[in-house]
């Protein structure tokens, strides 16, 4: 088989790239190791930046998001029980959209079906080849048969564990990484959210987050050990721990119920440079990871893909390589800003095992600065809303 762009991975990055290329009349095949149901079953991001919302709408993907998503004009930060609201609308004239990654993925899958474009699910041993030459390809195994897909370019949209980044010789790639000494334990529950907006809580027992997916479905997180055993957390234990961290007012109104999903996510900051190796491009979590505190991961995947798709459009329509040549540097500028913001939010709000009293007071000083300085709050709001 032959196509113009072979995309590895059918997460948000791969599916959106496929859709944008389709809109530009460029052929792409997506090869994914999992099944569609498995991909849709992963509960991940919940917050869509203003810029991401614009990109999804411009690509004709926003109808259900606009109808069902929740526009949030602000967030709250609870610091040792004291809640402070940050009004994004007032600070920077922007808002975010709360709309789950599962829904974005489902909308992207529907658009791909409607376009009649090819996605190969359940593909094993997906391997990129010869991207340093003029004739790249990928191979994969399905139903015991090895297939080969020839292409002009390979897009590695295969997440943190995917094969694309690992196919690059180590001498050609630089990795930057920070692994945090904790994780997040997340619970999804069919109960109305505790508050109309997200609450990010810093507490001496550890960080907690009150988020949501809709007016009737909530998503809650508590900071836990990086290797926490989910099995050790009954629902009751989770609700008790959450209540202790979010302040009495929220704890008293929290509606609990049986969890419909419970999982642990490790926290990591990670970037590789560059994002292009000959005819292979990396995009999304394949190239960078942020801790979820800043709600940036999905949004970064979308902005990478928007830049890459524009470059490929110029390449095929105008015979100009300028866009794909600039992709890595252009995307990395945004990536490092999101890395800084996510690292800063994480440091301000989490308990670190080796923290000194001095560092705890600095966390308080960060919060006081946000509360007392409009300029500081504006900087935070500008980064959060994107």
CB of 294 to ligand PHB, least distance (A): 6
Instruction: Let me know: does 343 contact 178? Beta carbons within 8 Å.
Output: yes
Q: Cα angle vertex 237, ends 236, 243, to 5°?
A: 90
* H-only helix segments in the chain: 12-23, 36-41, 50-58, 63-68, 88-92, 101-115, 163-166, 235-245, 248-253, 297-318, 322-349, 357-372, 374-385
Residue of the chain from 119, 293, 299, 330 that contacts ligand PHB (CB under 6 A): 293
> What is d(CA 40, CA 36) in angstroms, rounded to the nearest whole number?
6
Taking the complex as a whole, how short is the minimal distance between the CB of residue 146 and ligand RFL, in angstroms? 14
Query: Distance from CA of residue 203 to its chain's centroid?
Result: 25
> What element of type H or E holds 281?
strand 280-282
What's the Cα-to-Cα distance from 46 to each of 214, 240, 330, 345, rounded to whole Å? 10, 23, 25, 17
Ranges within 192-251 binding ligand PHB (CB under 6 A): 198, 211, 219
- In angstroms, the CA 57 to CA 59 distance is 5
Q: What is the footprint of ligand RFL within residues 163-182 (CB under 6 A)? A: 163
Which active-site residues does the annotation give?
72, 200, 292, 296, 384
Cα–Cα dist 31/10, whole Å: 7
Site for ligand PHB in 11-70 (CB under 6 A): 45-47
DSSP state of 196: S
CA 140, CA 128: separation in Å to the nearest integer?
A: 9
Nearer to ligand RFL, 44 or 350 (CB): 44
Residue range at the interface with ligand RFL (CB under 6 A); choices 20-28, 167-175, 222-230, 296-304: 296-304
CB 46 within 8 A of CB 219: yes
Which of 165, 176, 170, 171 minimizes the C-alpha distance to 280?
Answer: 165
Only one of the segments 114-122, 137-145, 151-159, 288-296 lies at the binding site for ligand PHB (rule: CB under 6 A); that segment is 288-296
Cβ atoms 40, 101 nearer than 8 A = no
CB of 310 to ligand RFL, least distance (A): 18
CB of 327: closest distance to ligand RFL in angstroms? 15
Q: Does 292 bind ligand PHB (CB under 6 A)?
A: yes
Question: In angstroms, what is the minimal distance from the CB of 234 to ligand RFL?
Answer: 20
Of ligand PHB, ligand RFL, none, which one sits near residue 293, judging by CB under 5 to 8 A according to partner kind?
ligand PHB
How long is the chain?
Answer: 386
Does 157 contact ligand RFL by CB under 6 A?
yes
Distance CA 344, CA 375 (A): 16
291 binds ligand RFL (CB under 6 A): no
Binding-site partner at residue 9 among ligand PHB, ligand RFL, none, CB < 5 to 8 Å by type: ligand RFL
Nearer to ligand PHB, 261 or 325 (CB): 261
Closest contact distance (angstroms) between CB of 158 and ligand PHB is 22
157's contact among ligand RFL, ligand PHB, none, with CB below 5 to 8 A by partner kind, is: ligand RFL
**Residue from 265, 326, 379, 382 binding ligand RFL (CB under 6 A):** 265
Shortest distance in whole angstroms from residue 97 CB to ligand PHB:
12
Are 188 and 217 a contacting pair, CB within 8 Å? Answer: yes
Single out the residue of 156, 159, 183, 323 in contact with ligand RFL (rule: CB under 6 A): 159
Out of ligand RFL, ligand PHB, none, what residue 313 binds, judged by CB under 5 to 8 A for its kind, is none
Q: Which of 228, 285, 339, 366 binds ligand RFL (CB under 6 A)?
A: 285
Given a contact cutoff of 8 angstroms between Cβ atoms, the answer to whether 285 and 13 are in contact is yes
Q: Does 183 bind ligand PHB (CB under 6 A)?
A: no
- Name which position in 22, 26, 46, 183 contacts ligand RFL (CB under 6 A): 46
Q: Which two tokens stand for residue 46?
A: 């919940």
Q: Which of 215, 343, 211, 172 is nearest to 270 (CA)?
A: 343
User: For residues 45 and 381, which CB has a smaller minimum distance to ligand RFL in the complex?
Assistant: 45
- The entry of ligand PHB, ligand RFL, none near residue 323 (CB within 5 to 8 angstroms by kind) is none
Residues that bind ligand PHB (CB under 6 A): 45-47, 198, 211, 219, 292-293, 295
């Amino acid at each position: 088989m032959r196509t113009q762009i072979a995309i590895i991975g059918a997460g948000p990055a791969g599916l959106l790239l496929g859709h944008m290329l389709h809109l530009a009349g460029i052929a792409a095949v997506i090869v994914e190791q999992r099944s569609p149901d498995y991909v849709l079953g992963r509960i991940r991001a919940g917050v869509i930046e203003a810029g991401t919302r614009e990109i999804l709408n411009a690509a004709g993907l926003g109808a259900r998001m606009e109808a069902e998503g929740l526009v949030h004009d602000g967030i709250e930060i609870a610091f040792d029980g004291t809640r402070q609201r940050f009004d994004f609308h007032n600070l920077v004239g922007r808002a975010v959209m709360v709309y789950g990654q599962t829904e974005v993925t489902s909308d992207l899958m529907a658009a791909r079906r409607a376009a009649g474009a090819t996605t190969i699910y359940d593909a094993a041993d997906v391997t990129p080849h010869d991207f340093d030459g003029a004739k790249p390809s990928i191979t994969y195994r399905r139903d015991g048969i090895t297939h080969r897909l020839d292409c002009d370019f390979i897009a590695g949209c295969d997440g943190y564990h995917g094969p694309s980044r690992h196919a690059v010789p180590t001498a050609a790639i630089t990795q930057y990484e920070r692994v945090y000494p904790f994780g997040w334990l997340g619970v999804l529950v069919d109960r109305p959210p505790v508050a109309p907006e997200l609450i990010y809580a810093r507490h001496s027992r550890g960080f907690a987050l009150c988020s949501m997916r809709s007016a009737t479905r909530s998503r809650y997180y508590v900071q836990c050990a990086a290797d926490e055993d989910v099995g050790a957390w009954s629902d009751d234990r989770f609700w008790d721990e959450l209540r202790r961290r979010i302040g009495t007012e929220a704890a008293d109104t929290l509606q609990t119920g049986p969890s419909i999903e419970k999982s642990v996510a490790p926290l990591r900051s990670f970037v590789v440079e560059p994002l292009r190796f000959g005819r292979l491009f990396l995009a999304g979590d394949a190239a960078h990871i942020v801790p979820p505190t800043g709600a940036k991961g999905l949004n970064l995947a979308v902005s990478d893909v928007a830049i890459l798709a524009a470059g490929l459009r110029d390449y095929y329509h105008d015979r100009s390589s300028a866009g794909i040549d600039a992709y890595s540097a252009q995307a990395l500028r945004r990536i490092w800003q999101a890395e800084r913001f996510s690292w800063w939010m994480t440091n301000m709000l989490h308990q670190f095992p080796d923290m000194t009293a001095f560092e705890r007071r600095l966390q308080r000083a960060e919060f006081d600065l946000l509360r007392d300085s409009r300029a500081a709050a504006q900087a935070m709001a500008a980064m959060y809303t994107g």
